[in-house]
Structure 1
Amino acid sequence: MGQSTVSKSLSHFLEVMQRKLCPEWIKFDQSEEEKIQAKQEFYVKASFPGVIMCVDGTHIKIVKPSEEGFLYYNRKGFYSINAMVVCDNRMRIKSIDARYPGCNHDSHVWGLSKLRSHMERRYREGERNAWLLGDAGYPLQPWLMTPYRSVSQGSPQSNYNMRHSTTRNIVERTIGVLKNRFRCLLGARELHYSPQKVSQIINVASALHNICIYYKVGDLNANEFNFESRQEEEEEEQSSDPDYTSIANRIRDNILATF
């Protein structure tokens, strides 16, 4: 088939799949039973209580866009979309936000996301003891637990960070599985499409990933993958939400005390 024919077919396919497939297969809400199960399974990993999901960002490499290309040039030295991925205890993608250029930091994408507002609303409505885990690239909030900064080896805070990292690494494995299922998303390649179409590709791939998990299609061993290094993001200190600073710190300290 001619390239133009394939391109038109792909555009139509992505529009239909994003409209029909994504809302059905990418859902953030959990039942009470699912939350209990998630907390139990996350707790088994490293005795970290209250975790229902984990969040991380990943850069999807693209060619330089013809318009405002400089916005897509990230600090790693290539053009990309910074996609925010949220997964549960079964490596299912519960939320994906692939709207923002690569120059945006993870904390910026989180701050503008509907998910952040949704979590705050649930907190205001009285939901407690259920939170996401994110690395130090995210702000500490009552619904989002992050590591301690500048800890000394062997300290209680260092122990907390170790357990936090062990529990949170499922989102890095989820991203690894997603990119190995759909290898056009790998960093060794780059997508030759507009940012808008790349966002659609990421969204649809995430929905198909969840379908594969549901039907146990082509199960992949996440332990075999080389995950992206998060060192650069983790070295950037992010301030917590001013409105919730004391509350978030108290929650984190209470978790530390359980260890």
Structure 2
Amino acid sequence: MSEEEKQQARSKFYSRSGIPNVIGCIDGTHIAIYAPTTNKHLYLNRKGFFSINAMIACDHDMNIRFVDARYAGSTHDSFVWNNSSLKACLEAAHQNGDQNSIYLGDSGYPLSPYLLTPFRHAESGTRESIFNKKHSKARNVVERTIGVLKCRFRCLLSDRKMRYDPAKVTSVINICCALHNICKKFRIGDPEEAETFFDAVVPLEPINENGNGSPGERRRRQIADALM
């Protein structure tokens, strides 16, 4: 994203949720495949079918800014994130002084200053609960993006298993994401029934947030306090 695109995203996400400096959201989704001939057990996900666990990041306008579809269905979301070039890019930018580029993810991802996740066990009416509601409102865009992507390219739906080897499935997913962006650029209408076909990864157990003193926790707490 260019600096101009980042600034536009920050403005849109802030007007939508009140959370500052957000430039995108991430989520995982399972792409169903037939059992591969090698390392079959690695592709069996927690839902009971064989799949690729694809991590997708989008901006406020449902443009897909990043996709990592290299990993088997049993792979944890946090592993996909920690080994992604998106995470490496954001971390490097943060270390170089960029404090204003934040992504939002669910509790399956590790909390950090540049990736904010919801508070655990937030009681109703508290600042944590308010933050979580605004976080969910902003992050809804990635869920809708995945829904539109899968409805537009129905080979990605869970009930339409791909018969290719995992490497080729990865290529198909990447191409579908590129074609999705082309559709967005040329203002081709989104499928109306997209929500019906949304099938995101159900978050696994929350990631250890390393206590209240971690940089990510301090950043999240600071934003939650400002929302009151």
- Common topology (TM > 0.5): yes
| Equivalent residue letter for 1:161 | N
Structure-2 separation of matches of 1:182 and 1:226 = 11
Query: SS of the counterpart of 2:214?
Result: helix
Residues 147-201 of structure 1, C-alpha deviations (whole Å, 9 max, x = no match): 0011112211011101000100100100000001100001121101100110000
Compared CA separation, residues 44 and 50, structure 1 to 2 (3 A): same
Contact (CA 8 Å) 1:139, 1:241: kept in 2 or not? no
The amino acid of 1:158's aligned partner reads S
1:173/1:198 CA distance change after superposition, 3 Å: same
Aligned residue identity for 1:253: R
Given the superposition, is the C-alpha separation of residues 224 and 42 from structure 1 closer, same or farther in structure 2, using an over 3 Å criterion?
Answer: same
The equivalent of 1:23 in structure 2 is none
Give the 5 Å matches for 1:58-77.
58-77=29-48
Structure-2 separation of matches of 1:223 and 1:56: 17
Distance 2:68 2:175 in 1: 12
Which position in structure 1 is the counterpart of 2:49?
A: 78
Match of 1:238 among 203, 207, 215: 207
How far is the alpha carbon of 1:220 from its aligned partner?
Answer: 3.0
1:92-147 Cα distance to aligned partner (Å, 9 max, x none): 11110000000001111101111111111011111002200000000001110000
Residue among 214, 219, 223 paired with 1:251: 219
Identity %: 47
How many residues end up aligned between the 2 structures? 227
Is 1:173–1:222's contact at 8 Å kept on the other side of the alignment? Answer: no
Shift of 1:34: 1.0
Q: Could you give the per-residue CA deviations for residues 32-89 of structure 1, whole angstroms, max 9, x where no partner exists?
A: 2111110111112121211000000000000000111100000111000000000011
- Aligned partner letter, 2:4: E
Q: Quote the residue 1:209 is aligned against.
A: 180
Identify if the C-alpha distance between structure 1 residues 218 and 103 changes in structure 2 by more than 3 Å, giving closer, same or farther: same
Which of structures 1 and 2 has the bigger CA Rg?
Answer: 1
Equivalent residue number for residue 37 of structure 1: 8
Matched-pair contact (CA < 8 Å) for 1:55–1:87: yes
Matches within 5 A, 1:171-182: 171-182=142-153
- Flag structure 2 segments of 5+ consecutive residues without an equivalent: none
1:136 paired residue among 82, 95, 107? 107
Indicate if the aligned counterparts of 2:158 and 2:199 stay in contact, CA closer than 8 A. Answer: no
Change (3 A) 1:222 1:249: farther
Scaled by the length of structure 1, the TM-score of the pair is 0.83
Q: Taking structure 2 as the reference length, what is the TM-score of the superposition?
A: 0.94
Secondary structure of the structure 2 residue equivalent to 1:251? helix
| Alpha-carbon distance change, 223 to 205 in structure 1, aligned in 2, over 3 angstroms | closer
| Structure 1: stretches of 5+ with no match in the other structure | 1-29
State the Cα deviation string for residues 12-40 of structure 1 (Å, max 9, x = none): xxxxxxxxxxxxxxxxxx12211111011
RMSD over equivalenced CA pairs, Å: 1.8
Q: Which has the higher helix share?
A: 1
